[in-house]
Chains A and B, each alone.
Chain A
């Protein structure tokens, strides 16, 4: 579904991702792991077209590397970004409402907002409250819900567990698990490699802008030393 080919990312003249390749099959959950500054967010941004990059990104048999960010979203790529970035001056409801921007079927979308409220009663309670007043965990739920409002073909999740208490983290991963069973294609970027490896069908390990390992969980876990040095996962 998503094929990244020879991708490099640049900030000015500095190259932070070096000619990487990876593939995400439809309906699968792929994890992108690596230490801080490895280039994970940069990779995601280049799929979205918000940074300078070279190489190609192929989505549903279409080269999207030259088209505008907005058009990529319209093709069905959705993002729950690092740091959540909820619109803190907007209400919870308005955040979700904006999430449905690319939908033509407004009425169904409105139903879905209700649906999300049922999944996260806390969001319903805070419906008219500004999103900035939510707790970190609630904001994360809102971010994921907002990203899903657009009915995406693929969901990019950038560090959904960042800064959350273990209990909440567990909830977030359960949510991702649910999404997976619903058949949504997911690219998951995570610091919490142990959990991510459990969830993902296939994983790529990124270090200093290079993919240093890839495979399914057991393949990755075999490379024990590398893993523990890069992601802290113990065998």
Chain B
């Protein structure tokens, strides 16, 4: 019984880690420019397609493929900011959200048009996945990698935000973007950095998603991002801590649903998860950890 609980907790942790990674990528962009980047899923997908292409042109070294995929996601994120999101930077949240939807739609269909509507096998990340037995607990190495990588990414991000000049500027920008510009810090630089970080996180997520699924298709990132989006809102949109918390909460919730729900309802897991999320939002409309609203003035 204890074993079962431990087993499921580990599952929840690795699920949660994936959502937290993606949610962080969404939150960091949102916190700075108020954009809900629905095209984040396609940034993940481009990582997957990059792995496919690299494997196809005979890159055998998995490290090279991993770096290539992360690099592709970073470039894609920064590129999207440059061509699609910069023009709507100062527009209202609805405009940004709809633009992101449009971008997501274009990219998904571009993948479909240029590559294939069907999943394409990418097996180069399978090496990350082998079963591990600890007593009667059976987990996969992938779960460990995923959790550890997420924790490392979070640690790196915290250090960056606390210690580096640009990181501090980004935290400031999440509160009062214009004031940061009035310090002479370039808006473009801050925002491009935010997108680059979100791309980096998306690239890492892509590796684990591909390692688990072994195939890439145009909607690879769509569903995970949908969930991560929810995680962000539950945690409090724009709060980075909230995103991580929301991600892990969602992971726990999903595993919990799989455990509680009878087999025949397994397919309805998403419905229940989303229902719980909706209830949480009714209870706390601003999310569990909503960011500070007020600007720095005390009058």
Direct interface between A and B, CB < 8 A = yes
Question: B295 interface residue, CB < 8 Å from A?
Answer: yes
Say yes or no: is A39 at the interface (Cβ < 8 Å to chain B).
no
- Asked if B165 lies at the interface with its beta carbon under 8 angstroms from chain A, I say yes
Tally A residues with Cβ within 8 Å of B.
32
- CB-CB under 8 A from A74, the residues of chain B are 184
From known contacts A89-B171, A97-B165, A98-B169, infer whether A84 and B298 are also in contact, taking CB-CB under 8 Å.
yes
Query: Is B169 a contact partner of A101 (Cβ separation < 8 A)?
Result: yes
What is the CA–CA distance of A69 and B295 in the complex, to the nearest angstrom? 20
Check if A89 sits within 8 Å of B169, measured CB to CB: no
Give the docked Cα–Cα distance between A94 and B170 (Å).
12
Q: Which residues of A contact B179 (CB under 8 A)?
A: 81, 85, 87
Give the distance to chain B from A68, nearest Cβ to Cβ, in Å. 8
For chain A residues 13-65, which have a beta carbon within 8 Å of chain B?
Answer: 48, 50
A 73-105 to B, binary, CB cutoff 8 A, 1 in contact else 0: 110000101011111111000100111011000
Interface pair A150/B168, CB less than 8 Å apart = no
Q: Which residues of A contact B2 (CB under 8 A)?
A: none
Interface pair A90/B168, CB less than 8 Å apart: yes
Chain A CB within 8 A of B56 CB = no
Is B82's CB within 8 Å of the partner chain A? no
Which residues of A have CB within 8 Å of B149?
none
Check A101 against B184 for contact (C-beta < 8 Å).
yes
Bound complex: CA of A73 vs CA of B182, how far in Å?
A: 7
Q: Name the B residues within 8 Å of A102 (CB-CB).
A: 183-184
* Distance A109 CA – B172 CA, assembled complex (angstroms): 19
Stretch touching chain B among A117-125, A131-139, A187-195: A131-139
A70 CB contact (under 8 Å) in B174, B176, B187:
B187
A87 and B184 form a contact (CB under 8 A) = no
> Which one of B171, B175, B187, B296 contacts A84 once the chains associate, using CB atoms below 8 Å?
B296
Closest-CB distance, B180 to chain A (whole angstroms): 7
B3 within 8 Å of A (CB atoms): no
Chain B, 206-219, contact with A by CB distance < 8 Å: what is the 0/1 string?
00000000000000
* A136-160, CB < 8 A from B: 136, 139, 146, 150
**Which residues of chain B come closer than 8 Å to A90, judged between CB atoms?**
168, 171-172, 175
Provide the bound-state CA to CA distance between A27 and B11, in Å: 67
A132→B176 CA distance, assembly (Å): 13
Q: In chain B between 56 and 109, which residues have their CB closer than 8 angstroms to a CB of chain A?
A: none
Q: Is B299 an interface residue (CB 8 A)?
A: yes
B178 to chain A, nearest CB (A): 6
Interface bits B139-167 vs A (CB < 8 Å: 1, else 0): 00000000000000000000000000100
CA distance A73 to B179 in the complex (A): 11
B186 near A70: Cβ-Cβ < 8 Å: yes
Q: Is A183 an interface residue (CB 8 A)?
A: no
> Mask for B179-217, Cβ within 8 A of A = 1, else 0?
111111111000000000000000000000000000000
- Compute how far the CA of A114 lies from the CA of B115 in the bound complex, rounded to whole angstroms: 59
- Contact pick for A98, options B185, B296, B299, CB 8 Å: B185
Does A163 belong to the interface (CB within 8 Å)? yes
Given contacts A81-B179, A85-B179, contact A97 B168 (CB under 8 A): yes
Q: Does B136 contact A (CB under 8 A)?
A: no
A162 at the interface (CB under 8 A from B): yes
B295 A85 Cβ-Cβ under 8 A? yes
Chain A residues, CB < 8 A from B178: 50
| Per-residue interface assignment for chain B, residues 261 to 299, with 1 indicating a CB less than 8 Å from any chain A CB and 0 otherwise | 000000000000000000000000000000010111111
A69-B182, A88-B296 known; 4 new pairs, CB 8 Å cut-off, are A81-B179, A85-B179, A85-B297, A101-B185
Residues of chain A whose beta carbon lies under 8 Å from any beta carbon of chain B: 48, 50, 69-70, 73-74, 79, 81, 83-90, 94, 97-99, 101-102, 131-132, 134-136, 139, 146, 150, 162-163
